[in-house]
Each structure stands twice: as C-alpha cells, then as structure tokens.
Structure 1
Amino acid sequence: MLSLFNARRTAHRVRLTACALAALLLTGALTATGARAEPQPGDAMRTVAAMQPGWNLGNTMDAIPDETSWGNPRTTQTLLRHVRSQGYKSIRIPVTWSNHHGAAPGYTIDAAWLSRVREIVDWSLAEGLYVMINLHHDSWQWINAYPSDRATVLARYTALWSQISTTFRDHPSKLVFESINEPQFAGTSGTEEDARALHELNAEFHRIVRGSGGRNATRLLVLPTVHTASDQPRLDAFLASYNQLRDTNIAATVHFYGFWPFSVNIAGFTRYNAEVEQDLVSTFDRVHDTFVSRGIPVIIGEWALLNYDHTRPGVIERGEFLKFLEAVGYHARIRNLTTMIWDAGQFLNRNELRWRDQGLHDLIRKSWTTRSGTASSDQVYLPRTGAITAQSLTLNLNGTSFRRLRQGNTNLVNGSDYTVSGTTLTLTAAALTRLAGNRAYGVNATIEAQFSQGVPWQISIISYDPPTQADATGTTTSFTIPTQFHGDQLATMEAKYADGRPAGPANWTTFKEFWQHFQPDYTAGGMILKPAFFDEVADGRVTLTFHFWSGTKITYYLTKSGTSVTGSTS
C-alpha cells in the first residue's frame, strides 16, 4: 500500500551533496570532523533540527490538580536520564498552572509549584536535553473565554508568562517556550475570529518574553495554530500572524494523531491502508510547504494514535500500529519536521523504566534514521483441526530488500519453508504445520522477516476455531454477550436496525467505536456492550456483526425495550 506514494516521497527526498556539505561547514552547522555543532541562539531552523527526536512528559505537570493525580509517578532525574539514553534529544514538559497560582490581580504562582517546574527543567537541561514548557490545560480551563472576557484572560495570561519569563530569563538557550497548548475559543464566529484571538495572545506572549531580557531576547519561541490543527486555513492564519511579529526566531507547532477513524478504530478503519497514509502524507506536505519551505521550522509537538493505550488492548492492532509508527518517522524525516511523541505512560513504564512494548520503541527509534520493511499483516491464522494450507502475506519493502525468515536463531529454508515472488511471501503448509505445534488456541510460534535494513517484522502463527456466543439478558447499563474466543481476536463490530440503517452512536456508520461502544473481555469470556452504545439505540431489534482478525464474522441479535436488553444467536 505504501508504494502508492513513491513518486511524492522521491520528490521530497533530500540528498547531502558535496556542495551542501561545504555550505554546512561554512555556516557552522557541522564541524570539520563531521560532528553537529551546537545551534547558535536565534537560529530557529537549526535549533528545531537539534531537538529531533522529542518526548512528552505527558499527564504529569499538566495533570489536574497535581503531578501524580493522573497516575504517573513523581518525576525523577533518573527518569530523564533514561529518556536521554533512549536517543531522545528534547523533552516537552506540559504544565497546567490553573491550580497553582493566586487570585487577581497578581495571579502569583505558588512558589513550591514554580520551584518544582524549575527542578524538572534543570534536571532535563543537565542531561543535555532541549526542553519545552508551556501553558497546557489552561487553554480550555480559562484561556478559551478570551473572546468574551478579554481583559480578565489577558491579565491572567500576562501575569503568568511574566513570572515564567522572569524565572527562566537566564536559563540556557536549550530551554524554549511554547505559548499555549491546543488553543481553542468559545463563542466565536468561526475561523477568522479564532485566528484573531490567537494572534493577540501570541503577540502578547512574544512581547512579554522578548521584553524580559536576558537569554529570552534570543530564546526560541514556539507558537501553535488554532487547536494545533494542520488544515490549510489554520496554517495560513498562522503564517499571517508570523509575518506580523517580524521575528524569525519562532517555530510553528501542530499536533498529529493520524486519520481520526483509524486513530480510534471506528467506521471499519482497522488497518493502516492507503487512505490513512494519504492523510499522513497530505498533513506533512501542508506543514512543510506552508512553513518549512519558507524557513519556518515545525515541531509536531504531540503525535501518536488517540486511542492507543496499554490499558485498552486491541483497540489498535499491533501490526497496523507499527506500520503507522514507521511511516510517521519516515515522512517527518524527509520533510525536516521535528517530532515529539505523546507519552502519558502508554509507551514508557516510568515505575520500571522500561518500554511497555520494546518492539514498538525499536521501530520508532529506527525510523529516526532509516526505513523498516513491514507486511500486510503480522498474524497468520490457522485452523485448530483439519488440514493446514499454505498462507501468503504481501511485503511492504519500503525501499529495503527481503533477506530471510527466522524463528529465534534458526533460519527457515527458502523453498521448503517459504517462497518469495516479488512482494509475495508464501509460508508452505509443511512449515506452518511444524510451527503450529500442538495447535493450542492462540500464538503457537513467532517468526520474523528480516530485511536489508531496519527492524525485523514479527509474524505470529495462531491456531483458532471460529468464536461462539450464547444468549444473554441484561440492561442498558450492564450487558455482556458470553463469548468463547477460541484463540481469535476481535477487530471491530457493526450494528444495524432491521431496515439496514446504522444503529447506535455515530449513526453515519454501521461500524462502532472500539472500547467506547464495545469491548472484548478475553479473560472472562465476554463481549461487553457499553452504556454509551445503548444510549443511542432505539427500542426494537438490532443486528450485530462481530469481525475477527482471522476473517471470521459472527452475527448476533439484540432486542432493546426501555432499559431491558435480551440477546440471542438467532
């Protein structure tokens, strides 16, 4: 699927020629030995380039009301040292100030809170990291009232940034300031008024910081679009605002959580397909062409998928997520975009200082410098009984070449265990029979495809029987369908009324949102239908279709009457 965009990728690929290398030596970007020189204060493009890649200390200093309120442990210098050791060059420290300052007119920041923010900033700088701090959830707690209460919001905003600027005035230039996280405004007439409100606040931020003196005179300032969105009208509004400020030491920031239906698993978007990739390519093209091509650096200040979380397994299938991660790294890199992954604890286990899924981080890290090969799936499903036949996968080479298949330290044999024809990898019936072993439900073996570069692609060999379900009764607040999964995994669920119309929430699609509307419980053996689903289901009969990753589909019938629900297999 990725080959659809090879022409565009080629157009954006940057090659370092001998002339370009000489130019970098002359300007000081590289030393004579080839090492990258420290960017000079005021050089926004090189500063932002030096910040790649970045990591967010999410749900921590931005948590409400305190640092540990949203489940993360207290930040330590050991954590920050670990982040640096994993290859990250910058850290974004989101900070919510709303619960940590006094009343008008001074809005004096609590000394202990400001000291704690400074401590984490100083630890980060001591580890050699670039650091970005901001006003975070303040954006929706009170800044959004700016259009209707301009004087009050501006006074509070000005007081906070005045104190923050003064506190950090003499800090090294590796500390950068971001004016507002995801700015949004209530009660406006639309895009034009939103843009005007944000420009006024960003201009005030710029005035305060630059006027505070010290290193703030040349410190990099990071300004967002409205909602940190990347649609062209928001980018154009930012560009107009940037030109009015007449300061080239500014970076733009947007956020990227992928194509929304794929990011939350709704409307049947279970796979990283051409439409999902096109959204990524179009987004990165827009910010590159609007900003980077004009010499304005861009920081993707947050990126991931919205509903990916270690506490919600299965929302995003792992292999499809890996393809997304690989593509983000590549497309950002060839467009000179700096990325800062949003990590609220779903990637790094901060208590144990280990990645919750080492394979995800291995691929992310490799994507900073090179591409990795992938495949159409990371799963091969085999029947638990009966004959096993050969199975094929399509390789996404991504500029690599296929080398071998391995199981552990053992190479599989080309010809007898597998064949490769173009981009089609076929596992033979004999090899699959051996790999399936006793054919117990679930993963029986894991093999990996190795390519000429990048991270190997793991493939799970899974034995299954078609899942089965049973009749059930319950209520709209508590309803579970007894389900025997038999080694299979749920991909998505459809809901329709008798006349074929979509049933339940998101009535523009028959496919409902994974985890928000339904949830598999593999341990207890059930399919949970959430109150949020029933809240928008009319009384009467509803047909559910459960889609599994093996390709199996199961039909189930509900009858809702008030708060009572009955379910049956026929």
Structure 2
Amino acid sequence: MNLQSIRRTRWRAGVVAGGLAALLATSMITAVSAQAAAGCRVAYAVSSQWTGGFTANVTVTNLGDPLTGWNLAWTFPSGQQVTQAWNATVTSSGAQVTAANMSYNGAVATNATVSFGFNGSWSGSNATPTAFTLNGVTCTGGVSGTASPTAGPSRSTSPSPSASASTSPQPGNPMATVAAMQPGWNLGNTLDAIPDETAWGNPLTTQAMLHHVRAQGYNSIRIPVTWSNHHGSAPAYTIDTAWLNRVRQIVDWSLAEGFYVLINLHHDSWQWINTYPTDRTNVLARFTAVWTQLAAAFRSHSSRLTFESINEPQFTGASGDEQSYQLLHELNAEFVRVIRQSGGGNATRLLVLPTLFTNADQGRLDSLAATFTALHDPNVAATVHFYGYWPFSTNIAGGTRYDSAVEQDLIGTFDRVHNTFVSRGIPVIIGEWALLNWDHTRPGIIERGEFLKFLEAVGYHARTRRLTTMLWDAGQFLNRGDLSWRDPGVFAMMKASWTTRSATASSDQVYVPRTGSITSKALTLNLSGTSFLGLRQGTTDLVSGTDYTVSGTTLTLTAAALTRLVGSRAYGVNATIAARFSSGEPWPISIITYDPPTQTAASGTTSSFAIPTQFRGDQLATMEARYADGTNAGPANWTSYKGFWDHFQPDYSANTILLKTAFFAEVNDGAPVTLTFHFWSGTRVTYRITKSGTSVTGGIG
C-alpha cells in the first residue's frame, strides 16, 4: 500500500489464479486410473494436503473420437468440496462434481490429454474418487473393456497446518502455485514501515503470530519490505546485515509454518524508484544491486518463496502512461534477468510483476501483458490491488452502501483481469485488498453490514474467476497484541467466502422508535443461491408466523416480536438476532431503539468546531454541505457529500459532530452553509453554519 496516494487515487484492481496442473508422480500422491468403453482414461492426483484442505490435479486422456467439448463428472466418497479450480469450470451438487472445459481447451484430439486442477476442503478423510464419466460415459481406460478402477495408496494426513516443500506444486507450474496460495494475508505496516519494523505501531513479528495466522486458514503471506533505509550508498548499495537477517528470519519462520511467502521492494517505489525518468542510471543501478543481493541471499530457499519486483510502481515526471509503461517494462525485465541469472532455486522461482500503480484499468493490464509476451518466461505471475469503488471505500460522495455501482466496479475489475491474464494461462495475485477506510481507529466510516456485503462479494467473484487474494492487514483486522480478530464476524464472513456463498440482507439494522406504537419492519434478502432457514436470538429460535414471516425475498419482523426484542426501549442496540441460511455465515440483525437526533447552536473556530448533537440511539451515515444558492460547499466540491472523518467526525461519547479544519479550509468566508446530516435510521437533520475569518457560528436549520 502506498501511503502517499491511497486516499486520492481510485484503485481498481482484481486478480486471478489458476492454471495447467502438473501431476506429481511420487509416492506422496494419491492416484486413480480407470478404463472406459467410450475411450478415456483419468489420472487423479493429490499434490498437496493440509488440515482441512488439499490441491488436486486431474488429467484426462481421450482414447476415442476427437472432442470439441467435454465435461468430467465424479462423486467424492468422503464429502469433499471443490473450493477453487483452474483450467475448468467446476460445479457441485452435494458430493457430485462436474468439471467442464474452458473456451480454450475444449478440443481434445484422439490420444491427447487435457488437464485441470483445483483446491478442495475435507474433514475426516480425503478418499480418492473411484469412478469418472466423460460426457456421460464411464471412463475405463481403453476403447473397450470394463476393468474395475484401481486406486493407488492413500496419502497420509497430518494434524499440522504446515505443508512441507515436498508437497508444493513443482517449480514451473505457476498456475498451480498461485492457486495453492489462496487465501493470502499481508504483514502490513511492519517490515515496510519507515524507518523500521515497529515505527508504524505494530509490534515485532513473532513465530506465535505467524502460527496463529496460518492456523486461521491462510496459505500464503505477503511480507512487504522497504529497503530504502537499510542499505548503503552507491555503487554497492550494500544491504544492512542485521536488516537482511531479520527479513530472512521472518521468511524462514513463515516457510516453516507452511506458508507460501512473497517479498518485495515496497515503499522504495515512491522513495526512489519513482525518480527513474530523470535519474535513470542511478535508479537502475540501485534497483539491480538490491535485487542482486536478495537473489543471492534467497537462491537456495524453498520454491514456496516468491519475489515481487515493485509495489505500486509510479514515475514522477514521466510524460504520460506510455512512457511509464516502457519504464516499468524495463524494470520488470531487469528484475527477471537478475533473478534468473543468479541460478539455484531462482532459475524457476515464481516471479510476480505488477501493473503501473498496481492498477487494473485495461491500459495497465495490456501493457503488462505485452511484457509477459516479450519476456517469454514460464514462471511469472501478474499482480494488481483492489480497494473497491472509491466513494464507497472512503465514504465520500454519498458512497455509504454496497450498491450496484460498487458491485459493477468489482465485477468489471475482476473480469478485466481474468480476461487479460487468466484466460491466457497467466496467474494473477490480488496482492492487496480491503476497503481504504475500514479501520478500527476510525470507526463508523464504513457501516458494518455494508462491509460484510463487500467481503462476501469479493470472495465469491474472486473464487469464481480463480483469483488468489491477499488481504491487506496493517492491524485493522488482526489484533497482533493478543492474536484475536478485532471483529470476529468480519473474519467469519471472509473465511466463509473462500469456499461458499453467504446470504445477506438490505440492512443489518432495524430501527424502532423509542416512543409511540411499534410496527412490523421488513428487510429484503439477497439469498445468493441459499435457502432461508430461520431466525435465532442466541440459542433460541424465533417462531415463523408469530415472530416473522418470509414471502419470496422479503423477511418481515412482526410488531409483537419487535416489542419483545426492544424490551424497555433504551436507546441503542437492545437485541441482536441472526438470519440463518442453508450455507455460509448467518446474517446479523441489530434491533435498535432511537429517537430523531437533535442539535443545538454553537460557536467555535475553524480549528475546533463541534456541533452539540444528541444522537439518541442513532448513528451518522454521511453529511452534505451546500451554499444558499444550492451549489456544493467545502472540499471535494464536485459533490455535496463530504468525506467521513476527513471533513467531519461524530463523537458519540462526547455527543458532538466535529467539523474538521480541512472542511473549513475550502468554505467561503461569510457565506452561510446548510449542512444535512444523514443518519442510518433514515432521519435527516439540517444545521446552518457561517465562517468569518477563523470564527464559526452555527445553529439548527
């Protein structure tokens, strides 16, 4: 993540993972072969297995007439599930699985083979399927004959989440490697912090922390590293030994836990690499020297260690995108040359190359695709970052909800990346993803239920496009102090999205007025292929027909149920219930008592102006600012909606809404401004302010 640009650049990125799966012919794999009257033979191999998960590769040999399309079907004997696939479209119904050809591998000549692979989940045992059908006909291994299928030796399972190097995809199989890296996690704001590991507030990395992350189900770890403050001057640019040893220690700990590991040049991108257009000789020499030393230091490490050339590359003073594309091509090509010529494990190590700004606009993708063509290196992957639709990611311009604009931005991004790279057999890693302003130190910017919808959608759309995702976590998700998730429900939704869909609803909040009669309230369900099972409060099931009704996708809570749930009708959340579905995470619903918020007159200065606000159980969603003539006031004047926390900030404990200095910096002197505060209950409150020099006065509208 680039701290200089993250809040002013609309990042659109997506990534993909998938590829041609090679069979591992060793005693450590499970294999089954069968013979078929229709002329087909199947080899099924488990190339990697860990607690709860595995990677399998399938090769089909066509012994009959040429095929123009195919689907292979089988039944898992132990209830396994496919969670991610490459080189085939895989669908499941219970234990029955069907893999269909992609657009590029449907034609299979007589005696030719086609291969695909997948990641799966298992519990109890991971027995091998014993029969396959190709286009509806049983595979038995020959043009005729009905020989019984034979199964090879079963692979032993291990209770440890760690995987040894011997169970990793073989070097030279980047699609399988990137698929096996799903899901991934970033050790953010740590070794990339300036000037050292703890400078940005995170504690020293420990083996216990890495073990905890691995045990949560993450298969890869991206370790961003900033080298700028840790090497000497020209011409050698010698890396500080203590720093290199610390990086090596964390890499080695991570590999020992069974992670795939990715290291890079991180904030170096804007500290010195960005001057490449005007300081070509020195930047190239420094870039080459740093990667030469890293190549030497890690040349004998496991193939599960991967290298990323540059984080979010950018070039100050470039004439435009075309020059920037050429400059990035030069650096990426130099990176590949340096690593490959160092030999050892680096000769086939997976190398990860970014787009310009690690952005997923089509021009950026096309430029990197041209680099891959020119390099003609079989062991490379692409990377982009994805922080969602910018207004939603930062809560500006009214971007408070996960709506169709947010969804289409996500789908468009992932489709572009898939079509540019994955469909051509090039794996891609979403090296960072999250929402820019989801942060435990700035609560309320992104409403929790809307964030849950985003998490569920990212997981689904990435998985169905075979994209490997690496969560950006700078401390906002995992509390590294006590090794707990800051919001367990947020992590649970993310984890569920790795393997299945979860239903959501139009809101996770139901507001009930504190006074007056209580009426029924309705929510719209987004079932996402699931079936509604019921509502539960704690361990008690609510009663269908009495407490709620469901008609199509409309869930209605009855007045009687709401009256019971709000109890004494104290302001705020009085009860939490969960909508349960046939798969995925339950959807939480908070039952909230409120009255419309009230505000009173105030005076202050442009550096300290707080509007007295009685929230009365409600929560602030956003704020608009307009002059008397209707034009937009304040910063970001292309919209009436201002930036949550950047321009205004609620303080629920102090019963105030603070208007920030940055807001007043762009408000006209002497011109009254009408503020409209939007609350999550649907209530709107207006307030008028006037700035005169550094003085500010305000009152109710």
TM-score by length of 2: 0.78
Distance 1:363 1:262 in 2: 19
Show the counterpart of 2:109. none
Matched, 1:109 2:239: yes
Show the counterpart of 1:159. 289
Structure 1 residues 404 and 505: alpha-carbon distance in aligned structure 2, compared to 1, 3 A threshold? same
Show the counterpart of 2:90. 14
The structure with the greater share of residues assigned to strand is 2
Matched, 1:127 2:257: yes
SS of equivalent residue, structure 1 residue 17: strand
Q: Number of residues paired by the alignment? A: 558
Selected match of 2:558 from 428, 445, 449: 428
Q: Deviations over 1:179-228 (max 9, x none)?
A: 00000001111111110000000000000000000000000000000000
Distance 1:434 1:29 in 2: 46
Distance 2:566 2:287 in 1: 62
Matched, 1:231 2:307: no
Q: How does 1:224-373 map to 2 (within 5 A)?
A: 224-373=354-503
Task: Give, in angstroms, the shift of residue 382 of structure 1.
Answer: 0.4
The question of whether the paired residues in 2 share the 8 Å contact of 1:25 and 1:32 is answered with no
Matched, 1:417 2:542: no
Q: Which amino acid aligns with 1:214?
A: G
Matched, 1:441 2:575: no
Task: Give, in angstroms, the shift of residue 24 of structure 1.
Answer: 8.4
Selected match of 1:99 from 207, 213, 229: 229
Q: Which amino acid aligns with 2:683?
A: T
Selected match of 2:602 from 452, 472, 488: 472
Show the counterpart of 2:220. 90
Selected match of 1:493 from 596, 619, 623: 623
The question of whether the paired residues in 2 share the 8 Å contact of 1:54 and 1:340 is answered with yes
The structure with the greater share of residues assigned to helix is 1
Show the counterpart of 1:542. 673
Task: Give, in angstroms, the shift of residue 320 of structure 1.
Answer: 0.0
Show the counterpart of 1:518. 648
Q: Which amino acid aligns with 1:14?
A: V
Distance 2:377 2:334 in 1: 14
Selected match of 1:452 from 553, 569, 582: 582
Show the counterpart of 1:33. 128
Task: Give, in angstroms, the shift of residue 19 of structure 1.
Answer: 7.9
Matched, 1:189 2:319: yes
Task: Give, in angstroms, the shift of residue 46 of structure 1.
Answer: 0.3
SS of equivalent residue, structure 1 residue 235: helix
Q: Which amino acid aligns with 2:90?
A: V
Matched, 1:558 2:694: no
Q: Which amino acid aligns with 2:508?
A: D
Q: Deviations over 1:457-486 (max 9, x none)?
A: 000000001111111111111110011100
Distance 2:645 2:262 in 1: 33
The question of whether the paired residues in 1 share the 8 Å contact of 2:635 and 2:663 is answered with yes
The question of whether the paired residues in 1 share the 8 Å contact of 2:432 and 2:471 is answered with yes
Matched, 1:218 2:294: no
Task: Give, in angstroms, the shift of residue 38 of structure 1.
Answer: 2.7
Q: Deviations over 1:250-288 (max 9, x none)?
A: 000000000000000011110000110000000000000
Structure 1 residues 383 and 98: alpha-carbon distance in aligned structure 2, compared to 1, 3 A threshold? same
The question of whether the paired residues in 2 share the 8 Å contact of 1:29 and 1:39 is answered with no
Name stretches of at least 5 consecutive residues in structure 2 with no aligned partner.
Answer: 1-87, 92-96, 102-111, 121-125, 130-154, 156-162
Task: Give, in angstroms, the shift of residue 32 of structure 1.
Answer: 7.9
Distance 1:29 1:495 in 2: 50
Distance 1:319 1:454 in 2: 15
The question of whether the paired residues in 1 share the 8 Å contact of 2:634 and 2:667 is answered with yes
Q: CA RMSD in A?
A: 1.7
Q: Which amino acid aligns with 2:286?
A: R
Distance 2:631 2:113 in 1: 62
Task: Give, in angstroms, the shift of residue 533 of structure 1.
Answer: 0.6
TM-score by length of 1: 0.96
The question of whether the paired residues in 1 share the 8 Å contact of 2:535 and 2:541 is answered with yes
Structure 1 residues 284 and 268: alpha-carbon distance in aligned structure 2, compared to 1, 3 A threshold? same
Q: Which amino acid aligns with 1:331?
A: H
Show the counterpart of 2:658. 528
The question of whether the paired residues in 1 share the 8 Å contact of 2:117 and 2:176 is answered with no
The question of whether the paired residues in 1 share the 8 Å contact of 2:119 and 2:180 is answered with no
Show the counterpart of 1:5. none
The question of whether the paired residues in 1 share the 8 Å contact of 2:186 and 2:472 is answered with yes
SS of equivalent residue, structure 2 residue 649: strand
Structure 1 residues 448 and 134: alpha-carbon distance in aligned structure 2, compared to 1, 3 A threshold? same
**Higher relative CO (CA 8 A, sep ≥ 6), structure 1 or 2?**
2
- Which 4+ runs in 1 deviate beyond 4 A? 22-32, 34-37
Structure of greater Rg: 2
